[in-house]
Chain A
Amino acid sequence: MPVIEVEGLVKTYDGLNAVDGISFSVEEGEIFGIVGPNGAGKTTTVESVEGLRKPDAGSIRVLGFDPLQDRYEVTQRLGAQLQESRLQDRLRVGEAMELYASFYTHPADWRELLRRLGLDNKTAARYSTLSGGQKQRLAVALALIGSPEIAILDELTTGLDPQARRSVWDNIEDIRDNGVTVVLVTHFMEEAERLCDRIMVVDRGRVVAKDTPSGLVARMGAEQQLRFRPSVPIADADLEELAEVTTVTRRGNQLVVNGTGNVVHAVTALLAQRGVIAEELRIEQSSLEDAYLALTGNDNTALNREVK
């Protein structure tokens, strides 16, 4: 049963449709990723689900409730971490937790939440003294303080160093393991690939794809590429005869073989049979990043091919 249902959402700013007919549903217990370039409408979409924005058209149901009309029900059962939101510098971590716990009918044990998020030794620390990663983990703790059924996390790991990011990822998996449905807005493909059960790719206010991470990669035709320097010359034609190989090109003394399916095995088997050693062998396959770039036509992100 879907816990969030969005149908034909439209939000217009200054005559431009920031969100132009987005529909999706989030199933109970999954981690649902919303990815897309900056300005694609990701934040506007989730803020409409949170009841912070009034849609110009379309319908939104959160656990069967309307976020604007049934504000009380939705806010009790949906926890949010907002992009670019912070707390008072002089507020202590424990005080913030105590304060937010007082807002809800069934608050979680805030000490236990801080412990799970690795902040239990920071209870007396002022907000201004926390590191970026600690602030984000506190934002997650505050999103979970009302024992919500759904948590929406918007650009949670932006601005964090890789180590802090990985530690937050573990926290997100932990949240889902505790039975909370998670909606994750991100522009890191690595993050979406690692965490999400399903991903919705948004570009210019529209949905361009909705699939599992591996499903999105498979749409790319799963092209693979081998590059190597053969120890003994081998004819292009011999390789091209293999069913899995699509093209063979030469770059200096390097051979570049493109193919699909089991191309890696087919090529290495042929080489072994001929007694050819593939020196400096590199195998690359399409990643979610490639799928994303192909879908959004957005090539300003560094191409991050998965090297094996």
Chain B
Amino acid sequence: MQQAVLPIYRIDANRPDRTGRAMADLRAGFASWRLAWTLARLDLRNRYRGSVIGPFWVTLSTAALVAGMGLLYAQLFRLDIANYLPYLATSLIVWNALSAMVSEATTCLSNAEGVIRQLRLPLTTHALRCVFRNALNAAHSLPLILVVFALMGQWPGAEALLVIPGLVVLAVNALSVSLFLGMICARFRDIGPIVANAMQLAFFMTPVIWKPELLGEGAKWLPLNPFYTMLEMVRGPLVEGGGTLMTWVAALLYTGALGGIALAFFVRFRSRVAFWV
């Protein structure tokens, strides 16, 4: 259980240098990304141990959901299916990834209890593990979007490339949320269930299965919903000819705010996590 630590380890409770230590933690965590990546792959492999199609179960169930809901809601909302189905497929797949990310973030540190209390590792490693795991998982469903596009014969234009910055911003948020929720939920065990409930509510409050136009005038307030802006960064370029400038600005503002809060929290409480888990 030897750790590659700096030859000199000095810590003085009177001069904690919290910022320096937090930054060192982040640096060390990113430098050992291979560990986080390996652990994430093991997590997925173990989750579907013995299953024949493994993570593609998620893909299959999403496909069934998209087909079922697509037919039903196209009727209910009186929408053209060729137009609605690509929208719904993109929405649901991105939403599922986003919501899985948030809910797994709540346990990313408390589940690593055994390691945190035995090995000196950067906490960033555990957060990265959660981000990588969710990215890998999502990668199994994302191609489904292309299948739906092909079936409906609806292809986005060059603006689809905006998906790439969208996914990058999502990844930044994923890391922030892992660190932030991971720490809070390690300390207060009631936050996890609250987050799960909040996500449930957010699913209905956010235009995932319904289209923003249905709100009429109210649609202009939608950027106030952070989930909408996150979703729109990926969905917009794919099905709506690129998100509006407003959603991008709002998304970046939310990203900055979340990152700032997560970092402040990390700097202040990082050293306490070993006592919390």
A binds B: no
B residues engaging A (CB < 8 A)?
none
A residues engaging B (CB < 8 A)?
none
